[in-house]
Amino acid sequence: MLRNAFEPWHLILILAVLVLLFGSQKLPDMARGLGRSMRILKSEAKALKDDAPAEAPRQGSAGGH
């Protein structure tokens, strides 16, 4: 039923609705804010991922003794 959920015309329609709702002047600010949020989220996720392997051996060795 929903084989191709998003086609190019769907994205165009969504963009048109966003322009109508928020205006063309607000969209660049919103996109900039979204980009900043994504960068922060990505860096925090990377930091958590980098910290996790360093903590895993300590937990494993403490439980084995």
Q: How many DSSP H helices and E strands does the chain contain?
A: 2, 0
Alpha carbon 2 to chain centroid, angstroms: 24
At 7-53, the pLDDT tens digits run 888 888 988 898 888 888 888 888 899 999 999 999 999 999 888 76
Rounded to two decimals, what is the model's pTM? 0.50
Query: How many other CB atoms sit within 10 Å of the CB of residue 27?
Result: 14
At 23-34, the pLDDT tens digits run 888 888 888 999
pLDDT of residue 39: 96
pLDDT of residue 13: 92
Cα separation, 35 vs 29, in Å, equals 10
- Residues across the chain: 65
Q: pLDDT band for 57, please (50, 70, 90 cuts).
A: low
